[in-house]
Amino acid sequence: MKLFASSLTVAAGVLLAGCAADESGLALDTVGPVPAQIVAANPAAGRLMVYSAYEVDADFNDRDPYRPEYSDYIIYTAAGKLLERVHNDSGTIVQNPASVALPTGKYRVVTRVNGYGNVTVPILIKANQTTVLHLEGGSAWPDKSVFNQTNAVRLPDGRIVGWRASSNS
């Protein structure tokens, strides 16, 4: 009986350690949409675009097997409940990630980040706005000059992930 209890304890420890290994322990601030951004349509929803780390292997079933593809990701509610698994491809010839509609609120995104492995990023979705995460490395922000130490969420190496969610949200 003691052997069974010991084996059960060891198995539970291994399983819990395996679950914890999905996250790198890196803690980032909450990323939100571009300040003062206005997009049309649904007042109860916003959008999310995640430029995650590129997939390592070519997809030979794709139109262009050598085209880089963003890795898939998972969206959790703020309480930690699984909301959606996202296949991160726009489905078009343009190399964009999927654009996901979400109700307004706070969420957590778990995805691969170049140089950091799997990372959890808290996000804020606002009505009629798009929250963008750049985790692929070497992204070219069109308006990089407007970022500063107070409005940008950055990785430890200084790369910009996105806009810091405003404190009044």
Q: For residue 136, what are the domain limits?
A: 25-164
Q: Is residue 110, in this structure, part of any structural domain at all?
A: yes
Q: Is residue 18, in this structure, part of any structural domain at all?
A: no
| pLDDT (0 to 100) of residue 86 | 96
Q: Is residue 145, in this structure, part of any structural domain at all?
A: yes
Report the number of distinct structural domains present in the chain: 1
- What residue type is assigned to position 167 of the chain? S
At CA 105, angle to CA 74 and CA 94, rounded to 5?
A: 50
| pLDDT (0 to 100) of residue 47 | 95
What is the length of the chain? 169
| pLDDT (0 to 100) of residue 20 | 44
For 7, residues 6+ apart whose C-beta sits below 8 A from its C-beta are none
| pLDDT (0 to 100) of residue 24 | 59
Per-residue pLDDT of the chain (169 residues; tens, 9 = 90+): 554 444 445 445 544 444 444 555 777 878 878 765 555 556 689 999 999 998 876 565 666 666 678 899 999 999 999 999 999 987 776 678 899 999 999 999 999 998 898 999 999 999 999 999 998 876 666 677 787 878 888 888 888 888 888 765 5
Q: Is residue 5, in this structure, part of any structural domain at all?
A: no
Q: Is residue 1, in this structure, part of any structural domain at all?
A: no
Let me know: does 75 contact 84? Beta carbons within 8 Å: yes
Q: Is residue 17, in this structure, part of any structural domain at all?
A: no
For 72, residues 6+ apart whose C-beta sits below 8 A from its C-beta are 52, 85, 86, 87, 88, 111
| pLDDT (0 to 100) of residue 18 | 45
C-alpha separations of 152 from 1, 6, 54, 142 in Å: 56, 48, 22, 14
| pLDDT (0 to 100) of residue 93 | 67
Q: Is residue 2, in this structure, part of any structural domain at all?
A: no
Q: Is residue 13, in this structure, part of any structural domain at all?
A: no
